[in-house]
Amino acid sequence: MTRVRVTAPRQSAAPASGRVVHSHEATEDSDAGRIFVRSLIRSQLRLASVVACGFLVILAVLAAILVYGPGVAETRVMGIRLDWLALGVGIYPVIGLSAWLYNRAAARNEARYRDLVEDK
């Protein structure tokens, strides 16, 4: 079975450096380019896995505290049980923080990739 990669030129404006480097250019140029692209893909996958696992661990710990914590189920805030309030509202800052950290680290990975390709 043969893999075929279909690519198209980007329609967005060129970066400030004036030189546009596409990932398919790097893979077509040399073996080093293919290694750079694989490295970028692996680092992005690793990052996504770490952020997703970290989020799930935080969610599991929060749920365990709410379920097994003494008196949590009976505590009410503005007439709403604390466990429902924490899971329904309190988890959104954790989601936002996870997304912000992922976005920042992914941009850093891509900047490192661009630096490697441009230096090549």
* pLDDT tens digit sequence for 44-63: 999 999 999 999 999 898 88
Q: How far is CA 15 from CA 10, 20, 85, in A?
A: 11, 7, 45
* pLDDT tens digit sequence for 11-55: 655 555 555 555 455 455 677 778 888 888 999 999 999 999 999
67, two tokens: 């379920």
Summarize the confidence of residues 78-105 as an average pLDDT: 88
Tell me what pLDDT residue 16 has. Answer: 53
Q: Please state the φ and ψ torsions of residue 54, each to the nearest 5 degrees.
A: -60, -45
Arithmetic mean of pLDDT over the chain: 80
pTM higher than the cut 0.75: no
Q: How far is 50 from 96, CA to CA, in rounded Å?
A: 16
